[in-house]
Amino acid sequence: MVELRDVCMQFEENKVLDGFSLNVEPQERLVIMGQSGSGKSTILRLILGTLRPNAGSIFFKRFEITGLQRRKLQAVRQHMGMVYQYSALLSSRNVRENVALPLEELTDKSRDEIDKIVDEKLELVGMKDSKDLLPEELSGGMRKRVALARALVLEPELMLLDEPSAGLDPVIASVIDELIISLSDTAKVTSITVTHEMDSAFRIGTRMAMLYQGKIIEEAEPEKFKQSKNPVVAQFLSGSTEGPILEGSLDAITKK
């Protein structure tokens, strides 16, 4: 479904991805873990084509994202749904208008049909009663659920989720996780989630990957991943301050 081959991405002097490769099979729920600023969100943006890599190729189904013209890229994006870390709802539009936007702009559906789909998706995320509220009137969790409904409205084949449960209370985080799981079970949606929320990651993922210094250093099913012998993965999962992740940076902190 998605393949990244030897992707390199650099922002000025900062090399974020260095020969990064990844393969995602249909209906899989891949979770990419890694430290803050390690390039997890960049991977999602590269798949969406909103960022272009410095080197390497990215494929979505049979399309090479990196080589697509704007018009074709826009058509391909309609098969993907993205949930941003901070929701990215349009602040001047209410919940209904936010969720209806892709349908109004990209399909020929009538107003009644759009309303029906919007209601259905908002009900799915438990937000049907908040249709007329503006994003500024919603809590963080509510915004995230609306963003999820908006991403689902075009029935995407691939969901890209950037920290879907970060900053949410445990109950709402579980609701969102369950929703992501049910989507892949019932609607056969493939998903790539980037997160460093452990509980959520192991609940959602059918495969886990650890991003470190621009590359995937460990890739396994959740149970195997938990027992990884890789010292970086082990330190990341335990949250210990002893280990290779903080070498150098911890010295710098303590010296201050």
Partner 1 sequence: MADAQPPPVLVAQGIGHISRNFLREVGGVFWFIVNTFEEMFERIQQGRVPFRATSFFRHSQRAGVDSVPLVGLVSFFLGLTMTLLTGYQLQRFGTERLIPGLVAIGFTRELGPLLTGIMVAARIGAAFTAELGTMQVSEEVEAIESMGIGPLRFLVAPRMLALILLMPCLSTASNIAAILASSLICKAYFSIAFPYFLDLVKDSLLIRDIITGIFKSFLFGLLIAAIACYRGLTVKGGAAGVGISTTSSVVTAITAVIGFDTLYNVIYTTFYPT
Q: Which stretch binds partner 1 (CB under 8 A): 9-17, 88-96, 202-210, 244-252?
A: 88-96
Is 68 near partner 1 (CB under 8 A)?
no
Task: Single out the residue of 6, 25, 50, 221 in contact with partner 1 (rule: CB under 8 A).
Answer: 50
Using the minimum distance from each CB to partner 1, give the nearer residue, 19 or 67: 67
Contact 250, 240 (CB under 8 A): no
Find tokens 């330190």 and name the residue. Answer: 235
In whole angstroms, the minimum distance from the beta carbon of 100 to partner 1 comes to 12
In angstroms, the CA 84 to CA 246 distance is 28
Task: Single out the residue of 12, 13, 14, 70 in contact with partner 1 (rule: CB under 8 A).
Answer: 70
Q: Nearest-CA neighbor of 93 among 131, 119, 124, 121?
A: 131
Using the minimum distance from each CB to partner 1, give the nearer residue, 41 or 228: 41
In angstroms, the CA 51 to CA 43 distance is 9
Using the minimum distance from each CB to partner 1, give the nearer residue, 47 or 180: 47
- b (16+ CB within 10 A) / e for 41-57: bbbbbbbbbebebeebe
Sheet arrangement for strand 29-34: 80-83, 158-162, 190-194, 29-34, 207-212, 215-220
Residues 132-191 contacting partner 1, CB under 8 A: 150, 154
Q: Nearest-CA neighbor of 187 among 233, 111, 120?
A: 120
Task: Single out the residue of 2, 48, 168, 211 in contact with partner 1 (rule: CB under 8 A).
Answer: 48
Q: Which stretch binds partner 1 (CB under 8 A): 53-61, 73-81, 109-117, 203-211?
A: 73-81
Q: Nearest-CA neighbor of 16 among 178, 236, 212?
A: 212
Using the minimum distance from each CB to partner 1, give the nearer residue, 14 or 91: 91
And the tokens for 153?
């409205």
Task: Single out the residue of 1, 101, 124, 166 in contact with partner 1 (rule: CB under 8 A).
Answer: 101
Size of the site for partner 1 (CB under 8 A): 24
Task: Single out the residue of 37, 67, 90, 139 in contact with partner 1 (rule: CB under 8 A).
Answer: 90
Is 82 near partner 1 (CB under 8 A)?
yes
Using the minimum distance from each CB to partner 1, give the nearer residue, 98 or 228: 98
Is 74 near partner 1 (CB under 8 A)?
yes
Q: CA–CA distance from 104 to each of 101, 109, 218 (Å)?
A: 5, 7, 42
